[in-house]
Structure 1
Amino acid sequence: MSTPEGPDVSDARPGRRAWITRIVLLVVAALSTVTVVRLVGRVDWEAARDALTHLSWWHAIVLLVVVLARQILLAMPLRFFIRGVTFYRATINDLGATLMSLIAPPPSDIALRVAMFKSWGVSPAKGLAGTVMNSLTFYIARFSGPLLGFILLLAVGEAPSFRWLELLSIAVAAVILVTVLMVVRSDRLARTVGTRSGRIVRRFRKSVDPDRWADACQSFRADIAERFHSGFPLAVLSQVGMMVVDLAALTLCLRFVGVTADEVSLVWIAIAYLFAFPFTVFPLWGIGIVDALILAALVEAGGLEVEAAAVAGLIVWRVFTVGLPVLLGAVAVAVWRREVAGQSQA
């Protein structure tokens, strides 16, 4: 949820802080990646390049369709929470924000979202409330991933081992869920959540006013309450669907480069993905650290002989799931600008 003070576009400090935070997170991800890869073993890059030769032209078409489905599912909560936003508009909005978050400092992505909402006749307040719920729903799904991972481990009779640490991720998801439910339940609870959250944050940032946070939570409830009860369950389902499609993309990439089901079954790919998914909280969907964690789990399941092909599959997965949405975001912004220009002429 955005802070009650709101972003001040004229102040460059929030942008600088955001970039510093991103750099720090990327450094942490890089160090974590190096650590995990060293634990796995030295990668045979020549064998990884050979694995990439298994790719055919039609693989790209299949992955393009899968990634498009992934992006539509990722944006669906906007449709469920904001009246007047279709599935098409939700996807355009989300792709455009993805592009802006990569090439410009915050709040550029929010500014683009608001501009799109206004061009579609949607109130900025309603649009921002829906955007916040879109993010919160995704975070609930993101940090709940390990719960499904534990269920799969139980099904295959494998001990969780060090994965018990992922209980912290599930706890984060539970806290977010409870907080959201409290905010939308009543004005009194919304103000209570805002006030207490503001007091906690004020310990680290003296400029925070708990009363303004309470007002912001109450306003947020007013903007989202109308569509929350019907939209929230559908939004959660769409994010679970997105994770399933993302897992399908990963599995296809591994199979395309030669990691067979006999070497690493779908269940073990799913376990590797679900326990690594919370780390997509790092920049660029956790590029580096998520891949290293998945690689370690795949090698644990299939042995060192699958390492090189798994690396190749992860590279292809990242090209399509991180790189392609950025390109689609550029197309989305161009299409929207053309629509706005046409409306202006009319």
Structure 2
Amino acid sequence: MSTQETPDVSAARPGRRAWITRIVLLVVAALSTVTIVRLVGQVDWDAARSALTQLSWWHPIVLLVVVLARQILLAMPLSFFIPGVTFYRATINDLGATMMALVAPPPSDMALRVAMFKSWGVSTAKGLAGTVMNSLTFYIAKFGAPLLGFVVLLAIGESPSYRWLELLSIALAVAILVTVRMVVRSNRLARVVGTRAALIVRRFRRTVDPDRWADACQSFRGDVAERFHRGFPLAVLSQAGMMAVDLAALTLCLRFVGVSADEVSFVWVSIAYLFAFPFTAFPLWGIGIVDALILAALVEAGGLEVEAAAVAGLIVWRVFTIALPVLFGAVAVATWRREVAVSDASGGGATPSG
């Protein structure tokens, strides 16, 4: 199926709006964090520092392996949706984009992705379409996470209390899922979705062209439809696996600094994580607001006596799940550049696919 030529995002430049959006979200996260922490209580930072001394030399090694597994699972959907992209290439691509997203606003991360795709002989259109599907799958899993939280609460006979608000997150996950399936189902529905989405956005940005949005949705469908029915279920499973590994990392961090299973069981750590996970939509995986929400839930389950150690565990978790992927990303980009240099030196050229 032919598709329209996709613009080269490597030529795009991040605008002032990207920086403003990022700053606003960070400010909202900071204010939310302060509010939640005040509701929890005053943190004993001396006790938190003391809890960090319980870390042994082998703990970072275990966490390094767990975080690497998390990043591989996070990147897997790229290989399911894009022909010519293996698990290895998907991981390299996603780690590099993660690093770029931290050091520069969009579309710098997308420009790096496209450059990698081109070096592997993957067309820009299919690469971008697969990247969009990767993101959509992740958002479905992200906003659908509280559904598992409600299931766990039901299983242990606990009341959801204020967590009923998370139904909005589940509704958003369902809306994304329904929209994706409509787009993939037929060209007509793809154009309808594109047109209606453009009309909604046009209320805020008068320059939006509904016909171009309809064409873009139709083009997107052409690039992903062939692999969707097999790739989408596998992509959802990989994202569920990523969350399970991320939860394991959080649990290990808490146990390593002294939050025992008798104080806060794995079930309650899971509940705290699943209901906080949608807020990773904020910059830097929701750093601050996610941690404050998890802390509040842990204190609710284990009492104020676990607060200091829980703070220490969250600090370790964030260091390894945010800083470590950035280091992995630097290694990934260096590895890719070396491979491209070797390929150029040997006279090898990429043959576009798709």
The whole-number CA distance in structure 2 between the counterparts of 1:207 and 1:332 is 38
Contact 1:70 1:246 (C-alpha < 8 Å) held by counterparts:
yes
Structure 2 counterpart of 1:132:
132
2:350 maps to none
Structure 1: how far apart are the matches of 2:7 and 2:265? 47
Deviation at 1:105, TM superposition (A): 2.0
Displacement, 1:15? 2.6
Q: Secondary structure at the match of 1:57?
A: coil
The secondary structure found in structure 1 opposite 2:244 is helix
Task: Name the SS of the counterpart of 2:58 in structure 1.
Answer: helix
The 5-angstrom pairing of residues 266-345 of structure 1 reads 266-345=266-345
What CA distance in whole angstroms lies between the structure 2 residues aligned with 1:8 and 1:145?
32
Shift in Å, 1:106: 1.1
Whole-angstrom distance in 2 between the partners of 1:226 and 1:337: 31
- 2:142 and 2:12 map into 1 onto residues whose CA distance is 31
Q: Which amino acid aligns with 1:251?
A: T
- RMSD (Å), alpha carbons: 1.3
Partner in structure 1 of residue 198 of structure 2: 198
Stretches of structure 2 that go unaligned for 5 or more consecutive residues are 347-354
Contact 1:259-1:310 within 8 A present in 2 as well? yes
5 Å matches for 1:125-274? Answer: 125-274=125-274
The equivalent of 1:21 in structure 2 is 21
Number of residue-to-residue matches in the alignment? 342
CA–CA separation in structure 2 for the residues paired with 1:157 and 1:16: 49
Do the aligned partners of 2:70 and 2:246 also contact (CA within 8 Å) in 1? yes
- Give the structure 2 partner of residue 42 of structure 1: 42
Task: State the 1:16 CA deviation.
Answer: 1.6
Report the Cα distance in structure 2 between the residues aligned to 1:8 and 1:328, rounded to whole angstroms. 24
SS in 2 for 1:207: coil
1:64 alignment partner in structure 2 = 64
- Deviation track 1:101-122 (CA, whole Å, cap 9, x = no partner) reads 1112211111100000010011
Identify which range, 14-23 or 302-311, moves more after superposition.
Answer: 14-23
5+ residue gaps, structure 1: none
The answer to whether structure 1 residue 91 and structure 2 residue 91 are counterparts is yes
Matches of 1:315 and 1:342, distance apart in 2: 40
- String of CA shifts for 1:174-199, please: whole Å, max 9, x gaps: 00000000000000000000001011
Identity of aligned residues (%): 82
Which deviations, in whole Å up to 9, do the C-alpha atoms of 1:101-147 show, x marking residues without a partner? 11122111111000000100111100000000000000000000100
**1:75 correspondence with 2:75:** yes
SS state of the match for residue 285, structure 2?
Answer: helix
Deviation of 1:212 (Å): 0.4
The one-letter amino acid paired with 1:225 is A
State the alpha-carbon separation in 2 of the partners of residues 214 and 202 from structure 1.
13
The 8 Å contact of residues 15 and 107 in structure 1, kept in 2 or not, is answered as: no
Letter in 1 for 2:65: V
Structure 1 residue 272: deviation in Å?
0.2
Contact 1:100 1:108 in 2 (8 A): yes
CA distance in 2 between partners of 1:272 and 1:312 (Å): 16
Does 267-276 or 104-113 show the bigger shift?
104-113
Matched residue SS, 2:180 = helix
Shift of residue 9 of structure 1?
6.2
Secondary structure, aligned partner of 2:15: helix
Q: Which residue of 1 aligns with 2:101?
A: 101
Cα pair 1:96 1:329 within 8 Å, conserved: yes
Q: Is the 8 A contact 2:12 2:107 kept in 1?
A: no
Distance in 1 separating the partners of 2:236 and 2:12: 35
How big is the shift at 1:75? 0.1
TM-score if structure 1 supplies the norm length? 0.97
2:10–2:112: 8 Å Cα contact kept in structure 1?
A: no
